[in-house]
Amino acid sequence: MKIGVLLKQVPDTETKIKLKADGSGIEENEIKWVVNPYDEYAVEEALKLREKNAGSEVVIVTAGPARAAEATRQAFAMGADRGIRIDTTGVSIDLYGTALILSKVVLEEKFDIIFAGKQAVDDDCTAMIQFVAELSSLPHVSPVEKFELGADGKSATVERPVAGGMKEVIDIELPCVLGCEKGLNTPRYASLPGIMKAKTKPIVEKKAAELLGSEGLRVTTAGWALPPERATGKKIDGEPNVVVEQLVKFLREEAKVI
Amino acid sequence: MQKIFTPEMLTEEQKALGATALDFIQKEVLPVSKQIEAKEPGLVPKLLRKAADIGLLMVEIPEEFGGLGLGKVASTVITEKSAEQGSYEVSFLCHTGIGTLPIIYWGSEAQKKKYLPRLANGEMLGAYALTEAGAGSDALGGHSTAKLSADGKFYVLNGEKLYITNGGFADLFTIFAKVDGHLTAFLVERNFKGLSFGPEEKKMGIHGSSTVAVAMQDVQVPAENVLGEVGKGHKIAFNTLNVGRWKLGAGSLGSCKELISRSAKYVMERVQFGRPIGKFQLIRNKIAECAMRTYMLESLVYRYAGTLDEAHAKAKDGAEKVKQLEEYVIEASAAKVYGSETLQFVADETVQMFGGYGFCDDYEVERFYRDCRINRIFEGTNEINRLLIASTFIKHMITPPMTEQSKTEQIASSDFAPSSVVKKVAAYLAGVGAKKYADKIVEEEALLAVVADIVIEGYAIESGMLRAMQTKDKLQGEMVRTYMAARIPLLKVAVRQQLVNIAAGDKKEFAKLEKALDEIIPEIVYDIGKGMDLIAAAVIPA
């Protein structure tokens, strides 16, 4: 099987986001970049599928600047076979554009199945799976908590959580795009031999500008601002009846929420 | 300017190795830290085998024997990232260091082929047995014996080894015993008949690591299991410790960094007098001091690793590699002494900053405090290491070692003035001492210890300095200046007293000696307070 994984490099979740001095975007200098945590589930599921189907390969597809190759190498260290990086350096690109260039690679590679994290933890748009699936004319399910390949190898049964603690069980035809959720598996370690082998695995580069063609921006960014800092809280001391009275007064007169 | 290896030069790949090591510690080891400390049977070996599954035990083993054939730099990164749980760390270092390295350096092809792949994949776990009840620091004074059988097929070992790390579960031991009075190393498998093991020692720290006595009663060891040459065991014993000492420095470095990050966070959470204690100068200075010393340690440990990697890469065979280990004996001992004492300082100050909470085990810093105490004792006590450093330094002054890269030449002629000052002082004191005491200088241990202190500090300062000059990092530069301004006057006081002793209290004689000292060490006038402020501001979150 030819298994594709859509991978995104994101800032470490503990990063303190700072804006550039001129307000033109996020200051990237001090950011520690990591593989999007949900994408690790995607890589693991792909590797598990490869292990069960001899002769399969796992291909990592990512869009981003040169540094994004590090994330692909981390997936190599876990065991993925090769990579494709769409270089976005110097290209203004929005969600739709990113989905478009990824889908072009997906169509070109003719993957049997595509895994991706259910969302990227940087912008949390939770939209890429649906966009890529639509632009590639493939079915999709997200988030997926359980995956099993059908006996015919041409379909799969997946579980998707729905409201009220229930689960939808869905039969889906391959090829398809699946958004991976926490709990689907336990991602393996990047092993030391894996890390050493990673540098010998190929990453093919493509140019975002070429794949985009005449497609321009559908979304423009008006500006960047950090959320306002939270005001310090107020502590009311005293006997319960006095405290409640005070609290109601504050909520009514100062916070004006009741 | 001399170019040295610095952590800033780590490749993406080397960092990734460290990231996996840390990932493993956080996901597999820390969650069971309490069980490790409670000595849950089988847990530590199980963790080591899990570590082997992802390649953490194969780093320095050559590729043809199932390893990765990586060098000391890669190993340093992994070691320092494995330091958060002391008991596990000691077990891990024992296996990958003194448990495995003797075979890498001295093993025959057959021995390497037989044992290294199994040590790499965790099928066998290693240990090292040198110490005996009467042979601790006096490592050659052991009473264990080995006698060749009449048919020459095997040696019969008798005796008892003490304080053997990993002894409770290790499958393979490098055991030292005397053949006709000459120390020899043997590879002994756990299941060889006649080997028995004592109960776990009740220790002050690293409670979860295994430390037992190993008794040998007519243990038959095949003749092909002699490691290296018969009668040359002392070479193996001492050089293995050399490598172990650098590893101990690397492990101490990891613990120091972990403690600093914990205390920097804690002092901004703990509020007294209406403000975080991290806003008070005495607390900020503690963190600045810890950071400065740790920076020097980091510079020193990576420099040693880089130097050995470069040297080993050019070595044509194993024997030359061993020679290189011998050549850098001062640096290895300095990493051990400076590392263990820096960690002791950092752990102590961390407990102090945590106050009453630091004294209780919920906050875990007391574990680091207890665990680190052994570092000043094992792999050669710091006292033994100081004597070794000073005597080697003096020996090198008289007969410099062979190769061009030799440390002594650097010590005698560094192109960097301020750190060469420190070296000149060491050479001066050693010179004056040697003139007075001649061969008897070996008995003047107090003087030798001061020489060693200067050499160690000189190596630390120079490493920190060369690094700061390479990176041109302002904070690093500040740490070096502040550190030197704080340390050099203290060294001077110690040297001065030794000169008084050498002059036997004669004021005129002393005045002459002191004048020369003053000429070597210029007066340092530097605002340390400002330096500490800058360092603290960089380490403690705002």
Torsions phi, psi of B230, nearest 5?
-60, 130
Task: Round to whole Å and give the CA distance between B80 and B77.
Answer: 5
Give domain A2-212's CATH number out of 3.40.50.880, 3.40.1710.10, 1.10.260.40, 3.40.50.620.
Answer: 3.40.50.620
Contact A46, A58 (CB under 8 A): yes
Quick one: average pLDDT of A106-129? 94
SS3 state at B170? coil
Tens digits of pLDDT across chain B (542 residues): 678 999 999 999 999 999 999 999 999 999 999 999 999 999 999 999 999 999 999 999 999 999 999 999 999 999 999 999 999 999 999 999 999 999 999 999 999 999 999 999 999 999 999 999 999 999 899 999 999 999 999 999 999 999 999 999 999 999 999 999 999 999 999 999 999 999 999 999 999 999 999 999 999 999 999 999 999 999 999 899 888 899 999 999 999 999 999 999 999 999 999 999 999 999 999 999 999 999 999 999 999 999 999 999 999 888 899 888 888 999 999 999 999 999 999 999 999 999 999 999 888 999 999 999 999 999 999 999 999 999 998 888 765 544 433 443 443 343 344 556 777 888 899 999 999 998 899 999 999 999 999 999 999 999 999 999 999 999 999 999 999 999 999 999 999 999 999 999 899 999 999 999 988 887 888 999 999 999 999 999 88
Whose tokens are 């093919």? That residue is A204
Query: What pLDDT score does A110 carry?
Result: 96
Query: What pLDDT score does B177 carry?
Result: 97
Query: In DSSP terms, which residues pair with B490 in a beta bridge?
Result: none
Query: Exposed/middle/buried for A257, CB within 10 Å: 0-12, 13-18, 19+?
Result: exposed
Mean pLDDT for chain A overall = 93
ipTM confidence: 0.86
Query: What pLDDT score does B1 carry?
Result: 66
Q: B10, B11, B12, B121: which to substitute to probe chain A, counting the most A Cβ within 10 Å?
A: B12
Q: What is the dihedral of CA A176, A180, A185, A191, to 10 degrees?
A: 90
Task: Round to whole Å and give the CA distance between B247 and B93.
Answer: 7
Q: Which amino acid is at A72?
A: T
Structure tokens at B249: 């420095």
With helix as H, strand as E and coil as C, how does B10-36 read? CCHHHHHHHHHHHHHHHHHHHHHHHHH
pLDDT surpassing 90 at residue A234: no
What is the DSSP secondary-structure string of B420-465? Answer: HHHHHHHHHHHHHHHHHHGGGGGG-HHHHHHHHHHHHHHHHHHHHH
Q: Which residues of B touch A196 (CB under 8 A)?
A: 13, 68, 70
Contact B270, B315 (CB under 8 A): no
* Cis peptide bond N-terminal to B276, omega within 30: no
Interface check for A221 against chain B (CB to CB < 8 A): the answer is no
Provide the shortest C-alpha distance from residue B319 to chain A (in Å): 27
Whose tokens are 């060491």? That residue is B426
How far are the Cα atoms of A47, A93, B16, B189 from residue A118, in angstroms, in the given order?
17, 21, 25, 51
Instruction: Give tens-digit pLDDT for B441-474.
Output: 999 999 999 999 999 999 999 999 999 999 999 9
Nearest CA in chain B to A198: B13
Query: In DSSP terms, which residues pair with B227 in a beta bridge?
Result: B185
How far are the Cα atoms of B136, B137, B211, B305, B372 from residue B378, in angstroms, in the given order?
9, 9, 12, 21, 11
Contact B336, B245 (CB under 8 A): yes
Total count of residues recorded for chain A? 258
Bridge-based pairing state of the strands B211-222 and B195-197: antiparallel
At A220, is the pLDDT very low, low, confident or very high (cuts 50, 70, 90)?
A: confident
**H helix or E strand, kind and range, residue A178:** strand A177-180
Every domain of chain A and the residues it spans: 2-212, 230-258
Q: Which residues of B touch A77 (CB under 8 A)?
A: 16, 20
Q: Percentage of residues in chain A with pLDDT exceeding 90?
A: 75
Task: Round to whole Å and give the CA distance between B411 and B459.
Answer: 9
**Helix pair B281-314, B474-502: axis angle to 10 deg:** 90
Quick one: average pLDDT of A168-183? 96
Lowest mean pLDDT among A11-20, A102-111, A157-166, B283-292: A11-20
Task: Round to whole Å and give the CA distance between A74 and A196.
Answer: 11
- Taking residue B202's Cβ as centre, other Cβ atoms within 10 Å add up to 7
| Backbone conformation region of residue A23, classed left if phi is above 0, alpha if psi is from -120 to 50, else beta | left
Query: What pLDDT score does B402 carry?
Result: 41
Handedness of CA A91, A92, A94, A100 (dihedral sign): negative
Quick one: average pLDDT of A92-119? 95
Interface check for B13 against chain A (CB to CB < 8 A): the answer is yes
Torsions phi, psi of B47, nearest 5?
-65, -40
Query: What pLDDT score does B399 carry?
Result: 59
Task: Round to whole Å and give the CA distance between A77 and A197.
Answer: 7
Provide the shortest C-alpha distance from residue A18 to chain B (in Å): 15
Query: In DSSP terms, which residues pair with A86 in a beta bridge?
Result: A63, A206
How many beta-carbon pairs below 8 A join chains A and B?
41
Provide the shortest C-alpha distance from residue A73 to chain B (in Å): 9
Query: What pLDDT score does B396 carry?
Result: 80
SS3 state at B185? strand
Q: B54, B57, B82: which to substitute to probe chain A, counting the most A Cβ within 10 Å?
A: B54
